[in-house]
Amino acid sequence: MGLTGGIGAGKSTVAKTFVERGGFHVDADKIAREVVEPGTPGLAQLVEAFGEDILVGDGSLDRAALAAKAFVDDESRSTLNSITHPLVGARTQELLEAAPDDAIVIQDIPLLVESNMAPFFHLVIIVHADPEERVRRLVELRGMPESDARARIAAQADDDQRRAVADVWLDNSGSPEALAAASGWVWERRLVPFETNVRTRTPAVVDAELLAAEPNSSTLPTRITNRLWALAGANATTIDAAARGSVHPEFVITARDADASNVLADALAPGGFVSIGDSRFGSADPGRPAAVNVRTAE
């Protein structure tokens, strides 16, 4: 599952709630720090690219000094990304492979929306708080200058962009306790049965309360289509939403050939769409009913 939200929205409270219930937490920010700790190849590469003055006295990375050099132009930013992104990706993959087979993996990624990563997750969970409230938290709780807080919020995706990819929308306009309670409800009612259904290859029993909590029904067909494309890749020639207005939308994937059709069948089940017979697949997500038909191009 992908977890994201704007800076100051309250992702850490949601992540903590999931971890307390057994979630396997993969924190992108933590990984990004780990791969450039003193003694790592990542830090050595940064020093080689940007100079010794990006270090502080104890040999650790001075992030402000690095930012001053790495974000001056596109070439410098590209150099930074070419060093850190492969390291973060490799470490993330190591952690994912270490997760137990029955784990509910929570990938905590601040820029998930901005990086167009939403289709690659079973679910995208967005934590939301009003921008002014986020500014207040950043200033009062983190000691950030207000101008910096507003600039960082403005540089991230806006609420409409987040809602367009959200499968779960957790509103953090209230207390931390209220957010934790809402997160616990999502864990028990959606994440646990979803994981069980995927692992056991069982189509979901639709949960009416989860359907009522759908954050943006108008984007649901697009979200499912994009998810199916992420699973199908080059094995599909087209993916069409056959019943866009339905509460139970149907989709038709046209496989490139018979071999591709077999590959698709193997890819759909772990991706959240399990076989219900006759080249048909049903959603394993109790909050997102859908039927998928696979046919072979003639």
Binding-site residues for ATP, please? 8-13
- Residues at the binding site are 8-13
Structure tokens at 134: 């986020």
Beta bridge mates, 283: 273
Residue 194 near residue 272, CB atoms below 8 Å: yes
Strand order in the sheet with 168-171: 24-27, 105-108, 2-5, 124-128, 168-171
Structure tokens at 246: 């339905």
CA 61 to chain centroid: 27
CA atoms of 34 and 84, how far apart (whole Å): 11
Q: Could you write out the three-class secondary structure of 35-93?
A: CCCCCCHHHHHHHHHHCHHHECCCCCECHHHHHHHHCCCHHHHHHHHHHHHHHHHHHHH
Other CB atoms within 10 Å distance of the CB of residue 213:
18
How would you class 57 by CB atoms within 10 Å of its CB: exposed for 0-12, middle for 13-18, buried for 19 or more? Answer: exposed
CA atoms of 18 and 34, how far apart (whole Å): 22
Residue of 9, 29, 270 whose CA lies nearest to 163 = 9
Query: Helix crossing, 63-70 with 74-98: angle to 10°?
Result: 130
- Tell me how far apart the terminal alpha carbons of the chain are, to the nearest angstrom: 36
